[in-house]
Structure 1
């Protein structure tokens, strides 16, 4: 017959073995559950990235305007259009601001290095201002009236209005976002291009040509005068202040400006979010 102390000792050993076995099973179950959850989180994350990429294919790296008709009309297409054109608009205004600030800094400086003379010559040529090369006879008023930004929101609104948010045939075939016609009346021949209108190799070229046009063409002299007046009174040059100052861009006259202003107001927040 087994004595009571021995029986109690055996029961204790059995209990310890049972606890150890149960702990091992629980540990394996927890490990298996953890390893099973990780792939689910990963798959969910990659799914969100793909959805985001679907609406992020238009970027500043693309030289030509992509086919924006593949996006649903409304906000998705507008966002795709703004993602495409806004980097060029912002870059153009940054370059203009840099030149303008440099001109202001040199206005009362009598010392000019060869590189500074070269820069001044390049600016006067770009803005179609006659300059003899004499640093004592620089047409400062004309320069500062022309070397100035076009408000980014205004440029974006006009590009959207003239190109149907990038879907018009002129925009798609000519990279022409602003309905610009050839200055001489004749355009270089190009297969598939819309005849009678300027065509550009890239969206950047289209934006650049538009800005130079407004800053140099005699037809927009009053626009530049109004902008210069804002500068003199230390007021900000904004889209809301300048859209109605643009005269002669369309044969529709003031009704065109009213249309642009209404379009700007409707899309102001969306445009601002992409600047």
Structure 2
């Protein structure tokens, strides 16, 4: 073999190695890119003060979903944690023979917030009724409803009013007027200063409004029986949240299972209510 032929073979081998290396690098990059759009990127701390991302600019569906859940979950977790903290304090007060003036003042504010009456005799049954309202909601359910009601954060009410759950208000100027509001209707879609405010109002609405008494009863029963409280389990309690009724409930369930949100329902498990059983 001549020196020229040997050099030619060496060049050919080097070119082949370069091609194989390029193919390997591209394969690794493709796998990395795929992983970033299939799993939600959850931030380590809530983003209360941050402006909601422009989810409408994200063209890839998987990437949009991951970004939406990654943005919303820390906010839902933080608002749920506030409720869990209040619930723990109520449980502690329920075991005390007498309350201090500070505790009475705090309990009075909580009772007013959750639309109950403070009675002279705080019985175990009264505490159980209060704790039926002061309770967390499954993260999967909150995320599914937020995505459903706000079209993945792209609706006009989400973008202009930080309203991701379709909450209404009934005083002129309290929110945004729906473009297709029925003649004679006076409701507006409420505006919030932040997404966290929208989440807090949503949780309070579910925990107090008469329309969702069935959901609260389901949750309380699960607590008494020491069963997991999941979004799938509580979804039927939202049959009155939308005019679509059962179809709406089935849609929420499909969103929870289709997006693998059940894994978020292991956190913030609250203990059973006092006096129950």
TM-score with structure 2 setting the length: 0.70
Structure 2 counterpart of 1:121, from 90, 99, 108: 108
1:169 aligns with 156
Rounded to whole Å, the distance in 2 between the matches of 1:116 and 1:87 is 30
Measure the CA separation in 1 of the matches of 2:46 and 2:75: 10
Structure 2: tracts of 5 or more residues without a match: 1-31, 179-187, 268-277
Q: TM-score, normalised by structure 1?
A: 0.71
Cα distance in 2, alignment partners of residues 223 and 167 from structure 1:
28
Counterparts of 1:128 and 1:104 in 2: how far apart (Å)?
18
SS at structure 2 position matched to 1:146: coil
Distance 1:207 1:165 in 2: 15
Residue 113 of structure 1 deviates from its aligned partner by 2.2
Superposed CA RMSD in Å reads: 2.7
Structure 2 residue 245 is the aligned partner of structure 1 residue 253? yes
Q: Secondary structure at the match of 1:197?
A: strand
Structure 1: which 5+ residue stretches go unaligned?
1-47
* Cα distance, 1:135 vs structure 2: 6.0
Cα deviation 1:21-56 (Å, max 9, x = unaligned): xxxxxxxxxxxxxxxxxxxxxxxxxxx9xxx9xx99
**Matched residue, 1:96:** 83
Following superposition, the deviation at residue 170 of structure 1 comes to: 1.3
How far apart in 2 are the matches of 1:235 and 1:74? 34
In 2 relative to 1, CA 67–107 (structure 1 residues): closer, same or farther, beyond 3 Å?
Answer: same
Provide the rounded CA distance (Å) in 1 between the counterparts of 2:200 and 2:193: 12
Contact 1:66-1:172 within 8 A present in 2 as well: no
C-alpha displacement of 1:59: 6.7
Higher helix proportion, which one?
1
Q: In the superposition, relative to structure 1, how do residues 157 and 118 fare at CA in structure 2: closer, same or farther (>3 Å)? A: same
- The structure with the larger Rg is 1
